[in-house]
Amino acid sequence: MANRVAIIGVGQTFHTSKRPDVCIPELCNEAVRAALEDAELTIKDIDAIVVGNMELFEGRYHQDLWQVDYVGSYHKPGFRVTTGGTTGGTLPCTAFFCAASGVFDVVMAVTFEKQGEGDSRAALKTVADPIWDRWISTGAIGTFARLGSWYMKESGATEEHAALVRLKADKNACLNPYAHLKLNLKTVEDVLRSEMLVPPLRKLDMCPTSEGACAIIVASEQKAKKLSKKPVWVKDWVEVHNEARYNRGDPVSLENLEKAALTIYRRNGITNPRRDISVAEIYEPATWAELVWYEAYHFCEKGEAFRLVEKGITEREGEFPVNPSGGVIATNPIGATGMIRVAEAALQIRGDAGAHQVSREVKRTFTTAWGGSSWTVAHLLSKSVD
């Protein structure tokens, strides 16, 4: 059985559409310094460093080569892990594996995206299978529009419900000093006035492209107890993969999300997620994804997610807060997006989230990352070690 591990430091940069003042390694350095400061450690305390992002999004890959000094991994062990959109969720898992194995005591994970520096469409074309999929593949917007129209027909939800999800995200983002889009939206109409991209998906239903970086520091139980006043315990994590088949298969691809959540619930005695989890920070690149995925994660019954939103249940001060940070709809530096969920959840457990801290006690958090052909990573963090 693996050793217990805890998150003992988190750091992120502020996120925005362009950071012309820094190069990629400098951006990552900001997040690394923030995490070290948060943990009250120096780079000498770190035994190994794992890095990753969305390869080629900046026209570059192999950042483990060219940002070594800036993330502090000079003469240290470490490696690069990239799993597409789930990279930010996989990197914490990688750090957990490293510390839980007993091989390393203190491990840092660093990730970024600087989307303005390349053409993500070119990068994503390289992902699509050249024999089957590359001929007809397109971007993410159509995927979420399809999800939205499917869900409207299936459940009776309307565009107003998606707009409510955006309002919640914006209200929370406005309180989060690191969030990218803070639009001060007041009404459903403010959202419904935004440009239609692919019906029923409007511009404000979709996440932005952001630039920013995130780092977390993970330690073995012994070290965590020694080094940290507020260790956040890692109870479990799971990664669910399938082979990418963009032009075949299930039109809404919910099975990976469901499997990830149910695996975490089963292994940790969670029978009623809304009761047993205090806060969720999920990777929701679009309003419609947030709605549909509530159901895939069994936060409610099938066809009920829009009722949850109608009743304000997932508001920051609701019965079951989802994405008090403002989530991905407000901030999406892709490689870092999954890790920001974990970092934000850790802050909520510690009570250190600041203005967007939920007022209830946060005992357990559920976080996810999502990408590619609905790959899903999920983590369960806990305030108590047991």
What does the binding site for another protein look like in residue numbers (CB under 8 A)?
A: 19-26, 29, 42-43, 56, 58-60, 68-70, 72, 74, 114, 116-119, 122-123, 125-126, 130-131, 134
Q: How far is the CB of 161 from another protein (least distance, A)?
A: 38
Cβ nearer to another protein, comparing 26 with 190: 26
What is the smallest separation between the CB atom of 67 and another protein, expressed in angstroms? 9
Least Å distance, CB 50 to another protein, is: 18
Closest to another protein by CB, 1 vs 136, is 136
Q: What is the DSSP string of 1-51?
A: -PPPEEEEEEEE---BS--TTS-HHHHHHHHHHHHHHHHT--GGG--EEEE
Give the three-state DSSP class for 114. Answer: strand
Q: How far is the CB of 78 from another protein (least distance, A)?
A: 14
Nearer to another protein by Cβ, of 130 and 269: the residue is: 130
| Closer residue to another protein in complex, CB, 1/131 | 131
DSSP state of 181: -
Cα separations in angstroms, 378 against 89, 139, 275, 305: 7, 24, 18, 20
- Compute the least distance from the CB of residue 105 to another protein, in Å: 19
Q: What is the dihedral of CA 350, 12, 87, 77, to 10 degrees?
A: -90
- Smallest gap from residue 152 Cβ to another protein (A): 36
Of the pair 111, 368, the CB lying nearest another protein is at 111
Nearer to another protein, 79 or 135 (CB): 135
* Residues near 319 by beta carbon (within 8 Å), at least 6 away in sequence: 274, 313
The nearer residue to another protein, 70 or 375, going by C-beta atoms, is 70
Q: Tokens for 103? A: 């091989």
Q: Which positions ≥6 away from 114 have C-beta within 8 Å?
A: 19, 24, 27, 57, 58, 211, 333
Q: Among 210, 201, 209, 204, which Cα is nearest to 142's?
A: 201
CB environment 4-29: b (16+ within 10 A), e (fewer): bbbbbbbbbbebbeebeeeebbebbb
By C-beta, is 46 or 308 nearer to another protein? 46
**Rounded least distance, CB 212 to another protein, Å:** 14
- Least distance (Å) from another protein to the CB of residue 135? 9
Do 219 and 35 form a contact (C-beta atoms < 8 A)? no
| Of 380, 162, 369, the residue nearest 256 (C-alpha) | 369
Nearest-angstrom CA–CA distance, 217 and 108: 4
